Chain A
């Protein structure tokens, strides 16, 4: 009981430490730049209004999917930097298909989701295959694939662009009204609705947890991530696991744009939200690849972003300050985890040493034992 309490304390110590560090560092930056520190924190820390709460939940649902996609790779020691390209190319493909409206409402949505999943998986699969067969680092190949996806999508977007809209914003054909996913009026006091696909994010989170923790495949995947040699020894085909994990990560990445597509934009265009993949990396780290931790991370990320939008008006500070806070939080969190891990290790070593010496009084520690 006492040990588990201590473990919980250690687990919570790192995020709290990181938030404190981010607060201090940001305050120092503000002081150095001569910006109003108090006004900034008042804006960021006052309770958000109902409209903003909806925005926070909606934003978090998208970030959550992105972070889960990254986390699938992380659990297996794979860095899928390419979620950014995967979600854009998948959202584009799904938007093109859904916009045609060939199928009746719900079926159209379902098939579009399927297309997004398959396209995302295939795009990630290129990196997986390069690693599988040629030993190319997935970090580099996914960075390249992101850039290629950008070019490819913008090329195809101009090919299929819906020219009848009349504005200079380029986008795919709008979804037929029957294929849009209605939102929930969860929060009172605002006409804005929470995306219906918040449920999709929750479903993906639950699936992630079940597959990783309750199936043999999940066990193999985690084992490979922890120790490749041990996994090989227990009969895991590591190469095939690499490919599978990459495909799964890409499949999840394919879903990232779906809440936006079916709940807000109803088409894919040049204004489709960019940069979700990199946010996903940071959030997966914040949440330590745990489905609940990631949910908190996604909410925090979205909260900072929504609250930061008001910075310019209330404090006269550029809203990009939020990026600094987010970046410092990520860095502080990983450093804090490392520091806490080392501290925990030392604590355990001391415990063991104490027990050993009290069990056998007079018996000295073996040579070289950590004290």
Chain B
């Protein structure tokens, strides 16, 4: 049962795939148009929460744990170890944050979360790297153990504490938040004026400079650090080579076991930190079942982002945003997004027909767009259950439409034993 599984259907890419690199100017233009689209959408549909700083702050809050879990996935998968145990490591992190946060303060809670996640990572590393167990199997087991261990330990350590109980910890101390004094209030007033485009931009900027948790900044720094370490250092090159071709790495003298082990440990720490964010920042309390499958969404965000840090941030932001919009009673907001979806799908359909001469695909896309548009005009709001499904449907669609353009590390999930290099 190798995780690599069947190759059936997988498209073998021959030759070098040229990845278009985006220059800072291009990114700026894309951001400009994204804001413009949101501004237009807000005016057309009247859905105010589309870009309110409140919704965006919530989106950041929800994106960070997903992003941290995804970052954990990135580390281990880049070294060739598939990690679906992220959820279990995250759960361990929530308990670690609760326990150490309650006893020794929030900063200790942060370290505790990382430490507990790392224990989960260590189990995964021992099973997959040392014993060569199938990665998915080990991940499933870690999810079971993580869930059980956190609940068991919570009942053991939080029962009888002031304000705590068998399923939740006492309230935890808060980590500092950051606001930039001169800018935040100004942006807030600008946002209230509801000027086309300007207010939308102000609210987006405002969300980034007002009451930002220090852990959010740490998470952003970790994304950057991950990129730098993995793509700009010798250590990172060696680590990634273990994920692309461990045998080749071995012949060049890289200690593959050691790199894989380190990668999975870091992976666990990142996932644990994501759990710590949920307990310390999002809720200020440990609660049973706090993660709610975010480890899996993190994994999806990483795949959505094509196993790269930048794409991962994009995926996490998208999932966090849909989640936030839904949580803020966003039936009408998501309803507004339907219009955007309809326009996008129709545009894709037209592009397929006009530029790529694919009549059938184009027609299907335009028909789908028309159905979504019809849905928009017929209904008043979108039910919460459908909103909740958005991130998952989006991931599935991305996978279905662009699986050929996604490229996972070549030896991802394959068992490796030392001395196999012939």
Contacts and interface: CB of A to CB of B under 8 A. Distances in A.
Interface in A329-343: 330-331, 334-335, 338-339
Interface string B200-212: 0000000000000
A74 B9 contact: no
Interface string B1-40: 1110111111100000000000000000000000000000
Given A147-B296, A147-B392, A135 B11 contact: yes
A369 to B, nearest CB: 15
Nearest to B166: A318
A102 interface: no
B334 to A, nearest CB: 13
Contacts of A327: 141-146, 148
Interface residues of A, number: 59
Q: Is the interface of A mostly helix, strand, loop or mixed?
A: helix
B299 A78 contact: no
A270 B80 CA distance: 39
Interface string A125-154: 000001111111111110111011001101
A7 B210 CA distance: 67
Contacts of A138: 5
A147 B1 contact: no
A143 B137 contact: no
Contacts of A35: 156
A186 interface: no
A151 B6 contact: no
B154 to A, nearest CB: 8
B8 A238 contact: yes
Nearest to A321: B152
Nearest to A245: B6
Interface stretch (A51-59, A111-119, A206-214, A277-285): A277-285
B144 A323 contact: yes
Contact of A324 (B82, B152, B400): B152
A302 interface: no
A141 B399 contact: yes
Interface in A296-329: 317-318, 320-328
A278 B385 CA distance: 23
Contacts of B84: 81, 139, 143
Nearest to A338: B131
Given A33-B156, A143-B299, A330 B141 contact: yes
Contacts of B131: 335, 338-339
Contact of B403 (A136, A224, A238, A282): A136
B45 interface: no
Contact of B149 (A81, A285, A324): A324
Contact of A134 (B2, B144, B399): B399
Contact of B155 (A154, A158, A239, A320): A320
A331 B138 contact: yes
B403 A78 contact: no
Contacts, number: 174
A297 to B, nearest CB: 14
Contacts of A141: 396, 399
B6 A242 contact: yes
A148 B6 CA distance: 25
B386 interface: yes
Interface in B151-182: 151-153, 155-156, 166
A228 interface: yes
A130 B393 CA distance: 13
Contact of A228 (B8, B152, B156, B293): B8
A339 B131 CA distance: 7
A338 B133 contact: yes
B145 A334 contact: no
Nearest to A127: B396
A77 B9 CA distance: 14
B194 interface: no
A28 B353 CA distance: 65
B389 A151 contact: yes
Given A135-B11, A144-B300, A321 B392 contact: no
Nearest to B296: A143
B403 A144 contact: no
Given A136-B403, A318-B166, A330-B144, A152 B2 contact: no
Contacts of B148: 320-327
B357 interface: no
A216 to B, nearest CB: 19
Contacts of A334: 127, 133-134, 137-138, 141
B8 A140 contact: no
A262 interface: no
Contacts of A326: 144, 148
Contacts of A140: 299-300, 303, 395, 399
Interface in B258-309: 293, 296, 299-300, 303
Contacts of A132: 8-9
B147 interface: yes
A27 to B, nearest CB: 14
A323 B147 contact: yes
Contacts of B54: none
8 smallest CB-CB distances across A and B, nearest first, come from A323-B148, A327-B145, A318-B155, A155-B385, A327-B144, A320-B151, A151-B389, A135-B10
22 contacts: A34-B156, A79-B3, A81-B140, A135-B8, A136-B399, A136-B400, A140-B299, A143-B300, A144-B393, A151-B386, A228-B6, A228-B7, A278-B143, A282-B141, A320-B148, A322-B148, A323-B145, A330-B144, A331-B127, A334-B138, A338-B133, A339-B131
